[in-house]
Structure 1
């Protein structure tokens, strides 16, 4: 028995020994993978960066493509430069620049390669290619540079630049290396994973001087790079460029969408910049210049700026009051008893009140809504009514992020009962007289242009919307679009209540608050104007707002326009919107008289109107890359017809009615 057990143990040991011997034979004789690691002096592992996916408009026109360039990397420990002055001259850099770059490279790692020079053109690389053999420690790598042939949509597209150290350290799954490019802001950041592709690895043989002598084993161990997926947007680049031209010498935004699909057709943030400025070797210099610009072109105003909506908000008041049963289309209100002034004569029904934007009318509508289910003599009634009001308004997407496919969308502000409890330091310490400015879109309301374009889409659809979005396809048109951008969201307002309001909107364009020339033949535009007061600088600098859709029946486009410091809402904003709508529907401009008048106007505010500049924070890394400027949270305050201009550190807050 004992003898048998001894043979079993010996057999087990022999079997284990044979397994180890067989494994060692495979690793040392048959498997070449470890020989790759041991042959680092003769075999070089080259990372192949894939081409980033291209970006197209809805009609297949290129918005972004890749231009081949070269990046030059340096490994400080291996560097050997016989003549530094000659080397700097060859590289077209100064000696201080050379010393600074080398210091940064050594601080990162003496043994790992890091970027020495970015985005050398094919011509520049050809000029230095042969000479590089004499300088150990430097190696080129094929790369690409984003190119923007349409020269538009910079704020929505974003840009590509070197990944920051913080982002590098915070990767959940290691992918990026020091010096890699990554999308920042806009679509480049939102769809980074789809656009970046998958990098490849190539093994090449080299001699002792680092000169490549060919691939290793005919590329048996190579893995090919996979290009990123192309992104098809819903942008109509022709309409986008036209809207850009109309917003020259303006501060504000234009955002247009297809109400049937939620697809964004045009997205203008003014003033803007040529996206090619942030796609070159001079990224840092150009970025710093844009940051210092007092008009803040880096702010993506359609989604990041927050305004008081002014009279455009009256549309929501009219709808929810009808649904509640406190307003009927033929109900008439005069001006008596209202603390608000108005430019019309009063005595309007609902259609007329929308047509002429009657402030006292909507003061009474809001008052009756708030007190519909309570005693107007009690504080509690205001709280009960305001809660019901809030719960209805929020269904229009107000006071929350809509969830579009861009980073840094701002939620804005829709006040609640707790808002006023906090503002007036306790419950039952405020009443209707403290909140009535909400009736005409004033007070604590803050809404982005995107939200008002979405409101226009809700009006066009008579009660529903699809979340606004830029993507129309990933890889191919119609593919890869998330389901969230196909789902309808309902406001729970009966369709019948939209009809008198829409009739009033059409009347406003035909013979109401809109400039006569903006009622362009064949467009059938329905709209609502808003004029946000800017009393601090005089009413000639009020802010012009317009939302609308067209045609009245079977709408194809919804739009919101903000033009700061442009005065009456029915002039600058309404005219801009009408021309953009005409261009989209007719594919040409027939209202040339209106176009010529509008383009002659200059609404840029003088520098004296802008807030004092704040000292900008330094970039997180030496490449000059910087994240989107952060905006302060909206502060609670009493209604004031004033505006704070957008800046890198704060949000634009516009008051008005």
Structure 2
């Protein structure tokens, strides 16, 4: 017989036994968490990184492809070294770097893989792969880096690198993890979603030494990576290479556009760099060198540099005056050098003569009529009203705003408003005599080389443009380029006013840019010499050709090279010849440009 006390003890023991049996049943039969934990001790989850999409030029020449590299991954709890010196010699890593990387790995996780040595080239990996079996806790993850068959278009294509902390925090898709590579500039950054592809995952069984023993669950849980989409750029690689050749040893920009589509044929920033140096294990070291280079090769001048447009802006002034009815083709002014300096040419001149001879006093007087229309009896107020009305017309040419090219970092330039001059001089304390330098593209006015080329496209198209862009198709599908690049944009100027402008621009070469004249192709162009208080003036030229059926519009800006009719016009003329004929038949002009002795 159980006493009351012994009965309580027996029941308690029975209950505890039942609980233990129930828990054991749950562990062994219904709860597989312990099984999964045990499996994880022998399973490696390896991310299968996709190949990025390739990039081709408009003629299907390969511009960017992928090269395999290998990241040596470490699981800290499994890794130990008996001979650190031998390891460092085998894998060509400094002891300090090894310690630093392994410390970072332990800080990240004791049980998760972390890169110990990044981006081992396929040549170096071939030397060490047989030694991996000697080191527990190490395995290799295959990655890829970009490679460039021609050392060209670095600023256009951009580069890829490890994702930054700020980029990771902005990743709403949750696609990226620390250590992933992303586009950091150029096409690589803008079209990152298309280029990156989709990651896959493989689960591998490994023994206690980290040696692979096959796929986990026959690979049923594995997923395949999907490569990124290929891009066809608008760039003509042959034209790009030739332009970079002509700009060697110079500072400046070249932008060439197909006027009828807005497709960028060439976009050159000088000086530039070999894009291959920003790939592989020495990326960080090489980036620092480029970043500290006083010539600023990483600075993308075509979209980031801002300069006074100089005399090329006289064409815009002419068109606004014609559209507003303030001037006509027969409007005539004397070349009065007391107003503003000018070179020698016949005087007086009508509008055609003003464009042909780039007459500064003509535009000083014409711009005054545009600005001071006597809307108010107060001269200061009248100038303010006129300037803001004029500015509204200028903005329709795509100035003082980002055009929206498909790359990051584009600057907007500046077309000054009355608010700017109120800030500088005080409200009601400035008038036309304060701002007359705007009449010839100087003063506070700033444009980018891309905007200059777009102006040339507007003049070629008789009043409209398409947003300049760098991509022609995505995965062979032209319809997939962003819609904004298919939208025709109007400058607000009637097409009829462009006939005189085009004829005068063609004749202008005989007045200010005789070197640019071609025998069989009629070029319409305009020179500019942008004043530079810090040194020699900058050489500027815009053009389109052939005049009656334009296939190329171009801007060239050569810093500290003096008159626009020398460096810039000569360079542009050679590039037009190269694009339209495929060859150069003026070796003496090519030699002149390559020599670069423009100041004399």
Unmatched tracts of structure 1, length 5 or more: 1-20, 605-657
Give the C-alpha shift of residue 137 in structure 1: 2.8
2:542 alignment counterpart = 547
CA pair 603-228 structure 1, distance change in 2 beyond 3 A: farther
1:290 alignment counterpart = 290
Question: Could you tell which deviates more after superposition, 544-553 or 175-184?
Answer: 175-184
Q: Does 1:480 align with 2:475?
A: no
CA pair 461-36 structure 1, distance change in 2 beyond 3 A: farther
**2:519 aligned to which of 518, 521, 527:** 521
2:6 alignment counterpart = none
Give the C-alpha shift of residue 517 in structure 1: 3.0
Q: Secondary structure at the match of 1:130?
A: helix
1:332 alignment counterpart = 332
- Cα pair 1:46 1:204 within 8 Å, conserved: yes
- Cα pair 1:338 1:363 within 8 Å, conserved: no
Q: For 2:437 and 2:125, how far apart are their aligned partners in 1?
A: 64
Q: For 1:415 and 1:57, how far apart are their aligned partners in 2?
A: 38
CA pair 129-209 structure 1, distance change in 2 beyond 3 A: same
- Deviation per CA, 1:534-591, whole angstroms, max 9, x where unpaired? 2443xxx211000110010110000000000111100100000011111111111112
**2:583 aligned to which of 581, 588, 593:** 588
Give the C-alpha shift of residue 31 in structure 1: 11
CA pair 122-31 structure 1, distance change in 2 beyond 3 A: farther
Q: For 2:36 and 2:382, how far apart are their aligned partners in 1?
A: 79
1:237 alignment counterpart = 237
RMSD: 2.1
Structure 1 segments (4+ residues) deviating >6 Å: 27-34
1:347 alignment counterpart = 348
Q: How many residues are aligned here? A: 575
- TM-score normalised by the chain length of structure 2: 0.92
Give the C-alpha shift of residue 480 in structure 1: 1.2
Q: For 2:29 and 2:472, how far apart are their aligned partners in 1?
A: 53
| Mapping 1:154-165, distance limit 5 Å | 154-165=154-165
1:134 alignment counterpart = 134
- Cα pair 2:442 2:531 within 8 Å, conserved: no
Q: For 1:548 and 1:33, how far apart are their aligned partners in 2?
A: 72
- Cα pair 2:160 2:184 within 8 Å, conserved: yes
- Cα pair 1:249 1:602 within 8 Å, conserved: no
- Cα pair 1:344 1:358 within 8 Å, conserved: no
- Cα pair 1:460 1:558 within 8 Å, conserved: yes
Give the C-alpha shift of residue 280 in structure 1: 2.0
Give the C-alpha shift of residue 43 in structure 1: 2.4
- Cα pair 1:518 1:574 within 8 Å, conserved: yes
CA pair 33-551 structure 1, distance change in 2 beyond 3 A: farther
Q: For 1:576 and 1:488, how far apart are their aligned partners in 2?
A: 29
Question: Could you tell which deviates more after superposition, 528-537 or 481-490?
Answer: 528-537
| Mapping 1:392-407, distance limit 5 Å | 392-407=393-408
2:80 alignment counterpart = 80
Q: For 2:30 and 2:516, how far apart are their aligned partners in 1?
A: 80
Question: Could you tell which deviates more after superposition, 155-164 or 77-86?
Answer: 77-86
Q: Secondary structure at the match of 2:40?
A: coil
1:617 alignment counterpart = none
Q: Does 1:61 align with 2:56?
A: no
Q: For 1:348 and 1:111, how far apart are their aligned partners in 2?
A: 82
Q: Which has the larger Rg?
A: 2
CA pair 30-356 structure 1, distance change in 2 beyond 3 A: farther
- Cα pair 1:114 1:178 within 8 Å, conserved: no
- Deviation per CA, 1:487-532, whole angstroms, max 9, x where unpaired? 00001111111111111110112x1110x23211222111011101
- Cα pair 2:333 2:362 within 8 Å, conserved: yes
CA pair 106-495 structure 1, distance change in 2 beyond 3 A: same
Q: For 1:320 and 1:41, how far apart are their aligned partners in 2?
A: 75
Give the C-alpha shift of residue 110 in structure 1: 4.2
1:530 alignment counterpart = 528
Question: Could you tell which deviates more after superposition, 242-251 or 201-210?
Answer: 201-210
- Cα pair 2:567 2:598 within 8 Å, conserved: no
Q: For 2:209 and 2:403, how far apart are their aligned partners in 1?
A: 58
Question: Could you tell which deviates more after superposition, 209-218 or 572-581?
Answer: 209-218
Q: For 1:592 and 1:280, how far apart are their aligned partners in 2?
A: 39
Give the C-alpha shift of residue 347 in structure 1: 1.1
